[in-house]
Structure 1
Amino acid sequence: MTNKPRPGLAIAALSLGTALNPLNSSMIAVALVVLRQDFRLDVATVTWVITSFYLASAAGQPLMGRLADRFGPRRLFTFGMAVVAVSCLLAPFSPNFALVCVARALMAVGTATAYPCAVVMVSTLSRQANISSTRPLGRIQMANTSAAAVGPVVGGLLVSLVGWQALFAINVPISLLALIVVRQVAPPDVGRESGKLSALLRDSDIPGILAFIASLTLAMMALLNVMPAYRWWFIAVAVVLAGLFAWREFRFSPPFLDLRLLGRNRPLLLLYLGFAVFSAVYYFAFFGLPQLLQQAGKYDAGVVGLLMLPLAAMSVFMTPVTVRFIERFGVRSVMIAGVVLLTLASGALGVLTLSFWPPLVLVLMALMGVPYGVVSTASNQGLYVSARPEDRGVAAGIFQTCRYLGAITATVLIGVLYGPGVNQANWGLMVLVMLGLSAVVFVLALAWRKPGAVG
């Protein structure tokens, strides 16, 4: 007997599941200094706890999107939440930093199922609730925005009161709740394959996934100067693997990363590029500021989390406001306005090269929260209107991959720029990079048009 679908509760549970990935990507920001102390690491090495999560997420999202389209979003969502629960239950007992990074990667794979599955189910849930798809997408985006923004606050309290282990443990009850509710009230998977494991492995483009991950990893190792004597070898091999990856993706069906989808859909390609660069700007602030405030400003992790609270508040506030603006003015106009605000907020962060006065930090965090809520929400809506219905699962996966590529770029450059020291002078260099990237996002936002729009 199938339980009666309940769209409102299903959307709430899906939102809870999708929130886990941004929550975990942001909570770790205030734990970097503690992890460095506990495992005796340098700045470049500790960033691997971030990049391992993003590498696994970047590889997992497109694959999970395709699996959601093929095997059913409800089935895949519950599997992903189970992976999160198990990995996070075991992670606090990790005896070394390498296993912490492995646990983060497994958690990323599990949470990577949530967003593509939610996007695939939006059409059915909207029809059942007799509402526009803009509203459930807005709720899902609000959950993502809220989780990413609240992460430093929650993480700071957990790290201060319990330790970094609590950042894993908190995921267990959340993932189990999302799993149980979606299993009970989400619409059943209809017309999907059951499939065999052998067929799944054959169709999953394992060589493409491995080439993608290896290319990114070697490029990061070169930029972070992990092994100076082999730096140029790493770059050369990364370039070769990137070329082989592209060659493979154009010839394999179905590809891990559908490059043809990007080639035939210019609005989607522009949206992806803009969102990736926007994410790099945002994560410069998100991962660079907590380290600056803790080490140069001498603030406790819990205090840093509280100082970043206005970012959470403004992001949450701006998400439903942005949805209403989009309904009135359209995606493109709102996106352009958000990028202008992003540029202004990024420039304002340069004031921190002069002072760490707490009220000043609070104001700057609130300013940064505004463009995060606006651009994230507008990009999410832009994805939905740019992708064909039959491509939305895969498109949503690639969209999230763009977020992770931007975050990986930011964390690598943070490791490079903070390498000589975590201080106000090097933060000033980061602000200059953020302003340059903001200009790129602005150009891409101007070039984007809703499919079918003229001029």
Structure 2
Amino acid sequence: MSDRNTRKEKWIITAVALGVILNPLNTTMITVALPSIQKEFDLNTTDISWLIASYFIISAIFTPLIGKLSDAYGRKNIYLIGLGLVVVSSILAPLSPNMLVLLLMRGIQAVGTSALFPAGVGIIRNTIKHKQNRVIGTLSVFATTSAAFGPTISGLFIQFGGWPVIFYVNLPVLAIGIILSILYIPKDERNTEIQYKWDILGIVLFSGFITSWMVFLLSLEGDIQYGMLALAVLLTVAFYYVEQKKEAPFINVNFFKKNLNITLIYVQYILSTVIFFAILLSFPTYIQSVLGANSDMAGIVMLSLSIFAMITTPIATRWMESKGFRSPLFISVLIGIIGVILLFTVNHQSPLFWIAVVLAVTGISNGIQNIGLQNLLFSFIDKAESGIASGLLMTSRFIGNILASTIFGVAFATGMYDGNMTKMAIVLAVVAVVLLPGMLYVTNHEKKN
């Protein structure tokens, strides 16, 4: 390969990487800004939960949808449209006069960032010939782990311009990404053979059952809405039966039926995400509201979570290459249980150093589980199914995020204080314990090379 082609590929990878990090970063940068947003718009915890979870619901819907659209209508076109939508939302969101407008702008941002991962992976598949799978795998891990840096980035910048800064910080990244995309990503070749079939019913049912489950779960703190529970169950069952009969389903549910192990890996990934994101979501507000730290200090303390997650990832990768998946993933769950137990020691008198230690333990656990479950999943599937598997993995992450934001809403419905932190810790302890037998099962059936 010539030096010129090598340089071009590096610029393409950089352009895609800059877009891929925008979704996870924008899901977590808002965490440090929540106290300011809540105060300015006079919001309760349920409102905050919807502000967060709506982003994930939209992302869960549009990521698989846009992935198929980019195959039919051009990956570069869809990628640039996605970047453009994020530009619009990043400029207009800080001008929001009320909660509804802010929700709308966040929704536009969610649609835009949802386009970037599937279209970006498609661009890599079409243009990168050298170590393509490694590049895609690195982007996937990068997209997931970069979420942990959101609170630190926003915490350091909010002190200079308040909560609107979390939107403005996107603009330099977007400017570079758009320029590199225009200059280096090849033009799309029009593919007239692919005719995308809109699975409207599947989209409606998926949106309905995700939203209705969240409404029901948020009602657990007050008047429980049993009617919404019945609707959620009905829509979930209807979604499954409709999708399994479709030739081009919105979500390929038949993929789960091929191997119980694959399904359980996705479940494990959802549960792991629940613990990680619930802590990622609650601690920035806790550090500011209960411990009295400012936004930049909250961001610095949250850095403990992201750094240890990042450091652990390459170490865990080498560990699994030499020892297999069973021991690393089993130990990661034990570390995760310790991390959740340590949540019970957190109170309004806790020094920030101790908060950093608790977050570090969670970061280590998630760093191992994140890369381990992804690699374990791909060890079970053929290359031809890697696209479906990647899309479902992203959907699993969004579902985990939605559940975590729901737990946040229910646990802290009456305010951010020690007793409610204990409530969240109890729920996460149950999740952590459930992870243990599941991890033993999926690693007991891992494929041997």
Aligned to 1:147: 146
Aligned to 2:22: 20
Q: Report 1:317-336 matches (<5 A).
A: 317-336=311-330
Opposite residue 56 of structure 2, the aligned amino acid is Y
Cα distance, 1:449 vs. partner? 5.1
Cα distance, 1:142 vs. partner? 4.8
Change (3 A) 1:431 1:25: same
Cα distance, 1:396 vs. partner? 1.5
Change (3 A) 1:78 1:339: farther
Structure 2 distance, partners of 1:187, 1:332, is 42
Aligned to 2:87: 85
Q: TM-score under structure 1 normalisation?
A: 0.88
Aligned to 1:133: 133
Aligned to 1:292: 286
Change (3 A) 1:382 1:80: farther
Runs of 5+ unmatched residues, structure 2 = none
- Tell me whether 1:37 sits opposite 2:39 in the alignment: yes
Runs of 5+ unmatched residues, structure 1 = none
- Tell me whether 1:306 sits opposite 2:288 in the alignment: no
Change (3 A) 1:99 1:149: same
- Tell me whether 1:231 sits opposite 2:220 in the alignment: no
Where 1:31 maps in the other structure, the secondary structure is helix
1:428 to 422, 426, 430: 422
Q: Report 1:41-440 matches (<5 A).
A: 41-71=43-73, 73-120=75-122, 128-129=129-130, 131=131, 133-134=133-134, 136-137=135-136, 139-186=138-185, 192-193=191-192, 200=196, 203-225=197-219, 231-353=225-347, 355-440=349-434
Cα distance, 1:277 vs. partner? 0.8
Q: Deviations over 1:58-112 (max 9, x none)?
A: 1122223333455554443333222222222222222211121121122112212
Cα distance, 1:123 vs. partner? 5.4
Structure 2 distance, partners of 1:72, 1:402, is 26
Cα distance, 1:409 vs. partner? 0.9
Cα distance, 1:215 vs. partner? 2.0
Cα distance, 1:55 vs. partner? 0.5
Structure 2 distance, partners of 1:187, 1:385, is 32
Structure 1 distance, partners of 2:363, 2:78, is 32
Cα distance, 1:164 vs. partner? 1.7
Opposite residue 221 of structure 1, the aligned amino acid is V
Q: TM-score under structure 2 normalisation?
A: 0.89
Change (3 A) 1:204 1:446: farther
Where 2:43 maps in the other structure, the secondary structure is coil
Structure 2 distance, partners of 1:451, 1:66, is 32
Cα distance, 1:346 vs. partner? 1.9
Change (3 A) 1:183 1:221: same
Greater RCO structure (CA 8 Å; 6+ sep): 1
Structure 1 distance, partners of 2:361, 2:223, is 43
User: Root-mean-square deviation (CA), in Å?
Assistant: 2.9
Cα distance, 1:339 vs. partner? 2.5
Cα distance, 1:356 vs. partner? 1.9
Structure 2 distance, partners of 1:16, 1:450, is 37
Cα distance, 1:308 vs. partner? 0.8
Q: Is the 8 A contact 1:87 1:106 kept in 2?
A: yes
Give the length in aligned residue pairs: 445
Structure 1 distance, partners of 2:323, 2:66, is 33
Percent of paired sites with the same residue: 26
Structure 2 distance, partners of 1:254, 1:112, is 20
Cα distance, 1:120 vs. partner? 4.4
Change (3 A) 1:120 1:23: same
Q: Is the 8 A contact 1:322 1:377 kept in 2?
A: yes
Opposite residue 162 of structure 2, the aligned amino acid is G
The farther-off stretch of 426-435 and 321-330 is: 321-330
Structure 2 distance, partners of 1:323, 1:452, is 16
Cα distance, 1:388 vs. partner? 2.9
Cα distance, 1:11 vs. partner? 2.5
Change (3 A) 1:230 1:422: closer
Structure 2 distance, partners of 1:221, 1:304, is 30
Q: Is the 8 A contact 2:221 2:413 kept in 1?
A: no
Q: Is the 8 A contact 1:141 1:377 kept in 2?
A: no
